[in-house]
Structure 1
Amino acid sequence: MAAEEVREFERQRPRLFAIAYRLLGSASEAEDAVQDTYLRWSAADHGAVRTPGAWLTKVLTNLCLTRLTSARARRETYVGPWLPEPVDTTGSALGPLDTAELRESVSLALLLLLERLTPPERAVFVLREAFGYGHAEIAEVLDLTESNCQQLYHRARQHVASERPRFHPSTEERVRITQLFLDAARGGDLERLRSLLADDVVSWADGGGKIHAARKPIRGAERVAQYLGRLSREAAGVGFVLTELNGQPGVVATVDGVVLLAVALDIAEGGIATIRIVANPDKLGFLTAQLV
């Protein structure tokens, strides 16, 4: 493959990764999908490719659709709750996130909602909502009719809209509450923790059967505060830092430069409504590499 084609792929790589991550909810699988796309690009007849960006997007998206189908089967036997793989977005790992809508497009909450869609619905939704593709362009990517893509998009939006939060705190308010949460958890202050939680808060933990983690959601402010208090007491020698995870303030715990867990918070009018803890070490390698 000529150097020009290699440079073209490297120019496209960040966008391809951003698409793949939103489609798969996994940074490691997104990297694999991008690498598989590169292998197909290296074997392509480049003289017949009129628009490299469109060609690469089509190949990548269809590779991701295949992966989504097999991933669903694997998740049926997953131990405990499954959560997406967290990504630090203080840089540009997932592309520009300069609007509230773009930040939401990579949030763990929305990625979980996208798990409820069929693979084609998810592809149409991601390409349309996060990357501004027109229906005609999406139809070309997915080898569907334009009207079919419009129907898929309409259904996807309906599914997602019914579950999207109605309350949207400012970034400053999210940072403030997340910092208070971190201070209270780090200090083992259960009273302060309880005051930050909504009465009907739910805590989810993804250990994947690899480490000890709650295998069922914990519900209610008192129970969640007690659970977080136990975690903080077990965290001797662990360093905690507030950073941006998936477009929103989050907390990362590390020991000797290795990420042990990542915590994402959903904040509603009554306080913290949902806590998602990713502790499966298989899902923290990409985040560790980002933060080292």
Structure 2
Amino acid sequence: MRVGPYHVRRKEDDSNFFIQNVTFSLTTLSHYWNTKNFDLKNHQNTLFPYAYNILGTVEDAKDAIQDVLAKYQSINPAHIKNEMGYLTKSVINRSINIKNRKAKITMQKVWLPEPISTEKADDNLIGEEILSYSLLVLFEKLTTRERAVFILKEAFDYSHKEIAETIGISIENSRKLLSRGKLKLGAHKTSSPKNYSAVPSPHMENYIHAIKNGEVKLLGEMLSEDVALSADGGKDIKVIRELTTGKMATSNLLFYVFKTYQKSLSIEVSEVNHQPALLFFDGDILINCQVFEFENSKIRHIYAVIDPNKLKTFFR
């Protein structure tokens, strides 16, 4: 069973921990953890990738972890032999429950994960357990249990026995859920959920140049024939079109959006969930995060996150 770190920053004059500026409030728990010699920071670091990869949002992941830690405070841990194993199992199942509840009330045609910066993490805090953006998007095709089984087996190297014990199913059911999940992902499934394809920076610079200068031919050469553009504005932002497919339609929309809404914004090249991305800022406010999926050096998919609730915690 393998676990790992994620991108954490700590504010020197505060007792709270930050994940990309998302605060874990420890006020009610700090005294308890100190008296129990409980390594809260390390536990949060370890638990976060499990919750985030299942839920796809930082806020919900944070809530799942907080719920589990608060409940753990109220029990007698003397009978628990493996504290980290117990907390991990609890966070996974809490995340599954939250995801199921959220799925029932989500009415959007396009729902995109909350982006996480994987570019500026310190060497020893790189979010290597955070899955690629494209894979998190594809996970929306799966049931919550299929998603959880796939993540635990393919990303965290759990055995089917460990998965069965963790989420309360049989070993055979775990195998079936994994097989069913892989079938749904189909040709989009990579050999490993952590196979990240590096894209040379000139690709992104050429894209910016084409968009800014209205160079239709250059942009067309960068897009695959079946390119798609997905946009998530959440509840607050009405996007022009949630899903656009095809080279011509996508190209026309990109030029229109830049000319109408993005011309005055500053653009930064970044890395989000281990994939190339563009960040559009109005001053210090992140307005749009575009995550790019490349195939054979061509842009295959652009994921545009415009929902302010999914951008407010992004670390610049």
- 1:205 and 2:236 are equivalent in the alignment: no
Look up the SS of the partner of 1:171 in the other structure: coil
Look up the SS of the partner of 2:51 in the other structure: helix
Name the structure 2 match of 1:157. Answer: 182
Name the structure 1 match of 2:158. Answer: 133
The question of whether the paired residues in 1 share the 8 Å contact of 2:182 and 2:189 is answered with no
| TM-score, length of structure 1 as denominator length | 0.86
- 1:67 and 2:98 are equivalent in the alignment: yes
- 1:122 and 2:122 are equivalent in the alignment: no
Match of 1:14 among 35, 45, 59: 45
Distance in 1 between the 2:186 and 2:37 partners? Answer: 40
Distance in 1 between the 2:244 and 2:178 partners? Answer: 34
Name the structure 2 match of 1:87. Answer: 116
Distance in 2 between the 1:92 and 1:196 partners? Answer: 29
Letter in 2 for 1:156: G
Letter in 2 for 1:281: P
Distance in 2 between the 1:35 and 1:169 partners? Answer: 30
Residue segments in structure 2 that go unaligned for 5+ positions in a row: 1-31
In the TM superposition, what are the counterparts of 1:91-106 in structure 2 within 5 Å?
Answer: 91-92=120-121, 96=126, 106=131
The question of whether the paired residues in 1 share the 8 Å contact of 2:196 and 2:275 is answered with no
Distance in 1 between the 2:204 and 2:76 partners? Answer: 51
Alpha-carbon shift at residue 96 of structure 1 (Å): 4.8
- Report the RMSD for the aligned CA atoms in angstroms: 2.4
Alpha-carbon shift at residue 226 of structure 1 (Å): 1.8
Distance in 2 between the 1:169 and 1:113 partners? Answer: 15
Match of 1:30 among 61, 66, 73: 61
Name the structure 2 match of 1:277. Answer: 304
Letter in 2 for 1:222: M
Distance in 2 between the 1:24 and 1:179 partners? Answer: 32
Distance in 2 between the 1:91 and 1:238 partners? Answer: 22
Name the structure 2 match of 1:260. Answer: 287
Distance in 2 between the 1:92 and 1:148 partners? Answer: 37
Deviates more, 1:203-212 or 1:251-260: 203-212
Alpha-carbon shift at residue 54 of structure 1 (Å): 0.7
Distance in 1 between the 2:45 and 2:310 partners? Answer: 20
Alpha-carbon shift at residue 162 of structure 1 (Å): 3.5
Number of matched residues?
Answer: 279
Alpha-carbon shift at residue 241 of structure 1 (Å): 0.5
Letter in 1 for 2:88: T
Match of 2:204 among 160, 165, 178: 178
Residue segments in structure 1 that go unaligned for 5+ positions in a row: none
- 1:54 and 2:79 are equivalent in the alignment: no
Residues 44/187 of structure 1: CA separation in 2 closer, same or farther (3 Å cut): farther
The question of whether the paired residues in 1 share the 8 Å contact of 2:232 and 2:242 is answered with no
Match of 2:264 among 210, 216, 237: 237
Letter in 2 for 1:279: I
Residues 127/4 of structure 1: CA separation in 2 closer, same or farther (3 Å cut): farther
Alpha-carbon shift at residue 145 of structure 1 (Å): 2.4
Distance in 2 between the 1:267 and 1:172 partners? Answer: 8
Superposed CA deviations along residues 71-109 of structure 1, whole A, max 9, x for unmatched, are 11122x22x42111111112459x7566xxx6xx72222
Residues 188/210 of structure 1: CA separation in 2 closer, same or farther (3 Å cut): farther
Letter in 1 for 2:218: R
Alpha-carbon shift at residue 51 of structure 1 (Å): 0.9
The question of whether the paired residues in 1 share the 8 Å contact of 2:58 and 2:114 is answered with yes
Distance in 1 between the 2:214 and 2:89 partners? Answer: 50
Deviates more, 1:60-69 or 1:150-159: 150-159
Deviates more, 1:62-71 or 1:266-275: 266-275
Alpha-carbon shift at residue 131 of structure 1 (Å): 1.3
Residues 4/50 of structure 1: CA separation in 2 closer, same or farther (3 Å cut): farther
